[in-house]
Amino acid sequence: MPTIGQLPAAASVSDSDELPIFQNGATVAATRAQILAGMQQALALPQGSLLGGVGPGVASPVPISIGANLALNGTVLSAAAAPFAIAGLPEGVTPGVNDLVALGQGGANAALPYAAFMQGMAGVPGIQAGALEAIAAGASKLRTLAAIGANAVAIEDFGAAGDGVTNDAAALIAALASGNPVRFGPKTYRIDGECDIGGLCAALLGIPGTTVLTRGAQSAVGTSGNPAWISVTATQFFVDGIVFDANRAVTADTWGVVVQASCTNANITRSLFRNAMGSIYGWGLAIAPSDPTLTRHHVHDCEFTANAVDGMWVAACDSVAVTACRAHDNARNGIYVDSQDSTFVLKIRDVQIVGNTCWNNQTGISVGNFNATNTEPGVYGNANPDVLGGLVSNNCVFDNTNYGISISGRNILVSGNLIVNNGPAGGGMLANTGYCRIADNMITGSGGFGIDAGGSIYVELTGNYIDGPTIGIGIGGSQNCTVRGNYVQDCVAGIMALNVESDGRGDNFGISCNNLSILGNYVCYGAGGSGIVLRDAPQRVVVTDNIVSSGTAGNPLNALLPYTDSLVLRGNILNYADSFSVNPTSVGGVNTLVFPDLLDRVTVSQSTGLVESIVSATAVATAGQISFIKVTNGGSNYSSATISITGTGSGATAQAWISGGVIIGVTVTNAGSGYGAGTAAVISGNGSGATISVQVGLPVIQGRRLAVHCVAPVGFAAAGSVPAQENWTGATITVPTGATIEWAGEAGAWQATRFMQSDYVSPDGDGSVTFQSQAGDVKLCPAVGGGVRLISTTEPTGCVTLIGRGSPAGIVSAVPGSSYRNLDGGLNATFWIKQSATDATGWVAVA
């Protein structure tokens, strides 16, 4: 066998070529592929090279490149951390508190929740975040944090401690000097007075109820003309959410916070003003006089409490609105609007007091010059109003010891207020106003008055609901006023008008009552009470279309007490009845028809004899008494005057009222008793020319109408009746069943003017007039010696029809065409015609 070396060389080699091998004791054939399977070739590579397999299955190794962040060091392949390319990451959403943030921490990689990561930033000193951009809450524009932060500065940035002990007044002034709003935290900041806040604009921003500015001492002298804790002279002043506590322990007599005249625009919201001490300047918040400078001030949703004088004072300035505030437990007024200018030059214009709540003050809301600083009446009030134009509306005032609301001035609308349980010193509302409207207020549970509108002029009181005071509406001493459509119940006196009204200090308002309309009201009173009362002769009073109820226990005869001689009554209703039933009764031995003064229509259901007297209930009650004393000439130059009353009676006294040296009215302070004819009153004093007249009992008012409907026949006497009952017959008349007779007051007496219903005079459609009686004759009764004269527009003298006894010839004068009836009768002697002449001749008997 040849050796391998002896064999020829192969042209090529393939995996299928076979080689002999000894395997398991035998020589066998194997292909090259079988022999090489599982064997690795010996590789010769340059240093730093890598081989590897790529692709699926078994394959020969191929070179592998070393990429970025990898290194081959000897036989070790190592990796370095790759840069964190944020731009290459997928876009996420707004991080949540539990999202993880990757960071290196302590030489190792770590993941931290997003909330913990952000919280940790606050502890890193020196971070300059001003350049970061953000959108402020509620805004739409992206701005830097530095720009947003510049909108307000914290008082702590200027050294304030906010511990309630350190005086932070200097820090406040410095912060305001930055020109930015000053923000306060939920702390107590001590600000000693006087602290003056000036500049163009000052804004204080706190957290309502928790930011407190308190006064530690009143030691610094400021610029305020009157002492103040905080004096604001800045042109514009804005406050929100701050408690201004003037500190009761600091007893200096100062204003709390005062907005001075130089401030023309103040807006104060959600703040509290309390504990201003002193009997003169103890106001929580004061807006000082600035008239005639135009101002715009608004105080909204604030509270005023525990101040030694008033919660808030608005002086003479324009356009002040106080809305949705609360004022309580102040020594005098909750909210007070008054110029306090004794010269009456400064005015308050266009003030609005709307939607406030006031309780436990002396007076809840006071608008106008009801104070001793202004000259007393009759100089103040309507003569010199300090409020010109105002709205007092939708306020709730309760449990104030004097009045709920006091109003003085002109052109003021007082509307929609809820006034509850005020008094007993005053009542619901005091109104000494002119050209005003008091409408749609609800007043309950008050003391003396529901509405005391005495001394007012050109005022309408309408649509008010009043329940429970002693006097529902007082309108005395007023002129040209209307009381219309009010609901007044459970009062001792529903509506009362005195001729002259005083202010409670003994001073009158300078005018007497006249031109008063009481129209369409509902009045209910009880035992011992009265409906409508007119005292001391107010003049030209109209009482029409009212409904008055005496309730279950009141006396219906007290529905109207008219102590006057100048009154128009029409269409009033008593106790919801169309007519009131009265029957003649004996008064002083005289058969008298006594009727309620309120009514102009009554019904008589039975009669026990001739009616000898028709008198009102009040006339009966005042018989022998002094009802009123009228001033017939006011005289001049009086500063004091006394009234002397003489006559058959005794006990009567009266007081004269003086205004401008003139006697303007007299109040009967004691009506006395036993007075009659010959009673006189004389006025004396240090002036001259005044004269008065006295009225005993009540007269029949001129023009007063009374319709008496007779369910049964009623006779009315003529001769001897007091007051006189005159009728067209000159004798007793009897009104038949179903008929109505109307009486009219004329010259202190009654005159029967017409029958109605069954007996009447009526025009016919053809121009004629019918006299008709349903139950008897039609009687014509000329005077003695007179006749029934027939005339026309062309014959104004006409002719007469006469009656008599015996012949008229030579006895009775008449014009031709006249006739005469001889009641003695006789053939050719009963009926006579005047044929000629105008004397007693020319008579011819025709039958």
Residue type, 459: V
CB 429 within 8 A of CB 400: no
Q: State the Cα–Cα distance between residues 299 and 598, nearest whole angstrom.
A: 49
Name the residue with higher pLDDT: 609 or 843: 843
Residue 279 has pLDDT above 80, yes or no: yes
CB 332 within 8 A of CB 362: yes
Residue type, 199: G
Q: State the Cα–Cα distance between residues 325 and 329, nearest whole angstrom.
A: 14
Strand partners, 259: 232, 287
User: Residue 136 has what pLDDT?
Assistant: 64
Q: What is the mean pLDDT of residues 452-462?
A: 94
User: Residue 48 has what pLDDT?
Assistant: 66
Residue 760 has pLDDT above 60, yes or no: no
The residues, any chain, with a CB within 8 Å of residue 123's CB and separated by 6 or more, are none
**DSSP SS3 for 94:** coil
Residue 544 has pLDDT above 80, yes or no: yes
Closest CA to 657 of 500, 847, 428, 429: 500
User: Residue 205 has what pLDDT?
Assistant: 97
718: confidence class by pLDDT, cuts 50, 70, 90:
confident
Cα 740 from chain centre: 47
685: confidence class by pLDDT, cuts 50, 70, 90:
very high
Q: What is the mean pLDDT of residues 462-477?
A: 95
Of the given ranges (268-282, 387-401, 492-506, 670-684), which has the lowest mean pLDDT? 492-506
Number of H helices, E strands in the chain: 5, 78
Asked if residue 424 has a cis previous peptide bond (ω within 30° of 0), the answer is yes
User: Residue 523 has what pLDDT?
Assistant: 98
The DSSP element (H or E) to which 801 belongs, if any, is strand 799-804
Closest CA to 236 of 205, 283, 203: 203
Task: Write the pLDDT tens digit of every residue in 144-201.
Answer: 777 766 678 999 999 999 999 999 999 999 999 999 999 999 999 999 999 999 999 9
Q: Sign of the CA dihedral 457, 463, 465, 471?
A: positive
Residue 289 has pLDDT above 80, yes or no: yes
Residue 767 has pLDDT above 90, yes or no: no
Strand partners, 142: 135
Residue 834 has pLDDT above 80, yes or no: yes
76: confidence class by pLDDT, cuts 50, 70, 90:
confident
Q: What is the mean pLDDT of residues 80-105?
A: 78
Residue type, 192: D
Residue 243 has pLDDT above 90, yes or no: yes
371: confidence class by pLDDT, cuts 50, 70, 90:
low
User: Residue 646 has what pLDDT?
Assistant: 94
**DSSP SS3 for 292:** coil
Q: State the Cα–Cα distance between residues 534 and 541, nearest whole angstrom.
A: 9
User: Residue 370 has what pLDDT?
Assistant: 61
Name the residue with higher pLDDT: 117 or 429: 429
Q: What is the mean pLDDT of residues 740-754?
A: 87
Residue 532 has pLDDT above 80, yes or no: yes
User: Residue 735 has what pLDDT?
Assistant: 84
Name the residue with higher pLDDT: 588 or 128: 588
Q: State the Cα–Cα distance between residues 664 and 607, nearest whole angstrom.
A: 46
Name the residue with higher pLDDT: 647 or 26: 647
Q: What is the mean pLDDT of residues 234-238?
A: 97
Cα radius of gyration (the chain): 53
**DSSP SS3 for 561:** strand
User: Residue 772 has what pLDDT?
Assistant: 67
Residue 812 has pLDDT above 80, yes or no: yes
Which pairing describes strands 228-232 and 255-259: parallel, antiparallel, or unpaired? parallel
Average pLDDT of the chain?
88
Running DSSP on this structure, what letter comes out for residue 571? S
- pTM: predicted TM-score of the whole model, two decimal places: 0.77
CB 442 within 8 A of CB 414: no
375: confidence class by pLDDT, cuts 50, 70, 90:
low
The DSSP element (H or E) to which 176 belongs, if any, is helix 169-177
Task: Write the pLDDT tens digit of every residue in 300-348.
Answer: 999 999 999 999 999 989 999 999 999 999 999 999 998 877 777 888 9
User: Residue 286 has what pLDDT?
Assistant: 95
Residue 259 has pLDDT above 60, yes or no: yes
Asked if residue 292 has a cis previous peptide bond (ω within 30° of 0), the answer is yes
**Quick count: other Cβ atoms within 10 Å of Cβ 112?**
15
Q: 199: exposed, middle or buried (C-beta count within 10 Å: 0-12, 13-18, 19+)?
A: middle
